[in-house]
Structure 1
Amino acid sequence: MSEFSEPKPFDLKSKGEEELIALFHNRGRHGLVQGQIEVLREMWLRGYRIRKYCGVLSWTPDRANEVIAPFAAVSRRCRDSKRTDFSTAGGGVYKAKSEPDARWVDTYTAVKVPGLNAHFSCHIREPGDDAEFILNIKSHDVREVFTYDQNAVALERWTAVVTEACGKLE
């Protein structure tokens, strides 16, 4: 047990950017990771830059990019695709943070050829949330959701979908 007591709750909305940064560091010194995540979420909601403070998070934009990389490699092998093989700018990152389909991270890879319009994406709603992986085959009205633990199955599924539509991959 820590020799420090739990801090008294207060309204993060009443704090300015410098106060939030100081609070983030103070909570870190006391081992209060969940408290740091609360501060990061507030900073994100206000539009402050938080990238250098993301070390306390299990899921970050960089980690999402790393996990999507093998899926993007499969997409790149479909030479006639009319969609981007990798993007960190899915539509969810441009929505107002108050909207239910807004995303802190919306990274995806996509393939569009005759008979197939599909993407595989990684969504993280807010800093501190777990990643969600989605296979969306728009041309067949299919939507499958995977967790990180199901990543190998998801990659097999994505590879099969792309291979079927694109023929033998390069």
Structure 2
Amino acid sequence: MGFSEPNPFDLNSKGEKELIALYENRGRHGRVEGQIEVVRAMWLRGYRIRSYCSVLPWTPDRVSQVIAPFTVESRRCQDSKRTDFSTAGGGIYKAKSEPDARWVDTYTAVKVPGLNAHFSGHIREPGDEAEFILNIKSADIKEQFTYDKIQTALERWTAVVNDACDILEKRSNQ
């Protein structure tokens, strides 16, 4: 007599303590994908998940670390009318069921007369890959980058910030 596959868990029927126990049990058995599944279920139900994020390939902290050099560039443009760093982009305030909702929406931005741009890092749901977006609103340009192209993205962002600084310098010399 052979063994049959176990019935899949209905994570929606589990309470917070049961989900935590399931997360820990899957960890003991090296089932990282199963742990990620539990973390995602906890997030969807509004439970705090920060202490369970170590199994995730991308976390809010990691996105902030990747954005940090972009923020350094943004801070060179001292008279910008937008914030140079925020972890509270608009996507985190949307209902999780909305297509443009985000678990992580971190960005840096510059805005001067004639130029409005931001560089953002997004994670749709816990366990998803991060995506990075350069959005130059004033020129209707939107470029998406994966992590392996982040150096190219930084070069593009540096050029945008240089343009913003040049605009401000020209205005101050008038």
1:1-170 equivalence runs, <5 A = 8-167=7-166
**Structure 1 residues without counterparts, runs of 5 or longer:** none
Are the aligned partners of 2:112 and 2:167 in contact in 1 as well (CA < 8 Å)? no
* Aligned-pair CA distance for 1:8: 3.5
Residue identity opposite 1:79 in structure 2 = Q
TM-score scaled to structure 1, two decimals? 0.94
Q: Within 2, Cα distance between the matches of 1:121 and 1:6?
A: 43
Q: How many angstroms does 1:6 deviate by?
A: 7.3
Displacement of 1:119: 0.2
Give structure 1 regions of 4+ aligned residues with deviation exceeding 4 angstroms: none
The amino acid across from 1:93 in the alignment is: I
| Alignment size in residue pairs | 165
Q: TM-score, normalised by structure 2?
A: 0.92
Cα pair distance change 1:50/1:97, threshold 3 Å: same
* Offset at residue 146 of structure 1 (A): 0.1
Distance 2:95 2:71 in 1: 27
Answer whether contact 2:113 2:167 (CA < 8 A) is retained: no
- Partner of 1:26, secondary structure, is helix
Distance 2:6 2:165 in 1: 57
Look up the equivalent residue of 2:16 and give its one-letter code. Answer: E
| Matched residue SS, 2:68 | helix
Tell me how far 1:168 sits from its aligned partner. Answer: 9.1
CA-to-partner distance for each residue in 1:72-122, whole Å, 9 max, x for gaps? 000001011000000000000000000000000000000000111000000
Larger Rg: 2
Structure 1 residues 6, 134: closer, same or farther in 2, change over 3 A? farther
Deviation at 1:165, TM superposition (A): 2.1
In structure 1, distance between residues paired with 2:50 and 2:108: 23
How large is the Cα RMSD of the aligned pairs? 1.6
Three-state SS of the structure 1 residue aligned to 2:132 is strand
Identity of aligned residues (%): 79
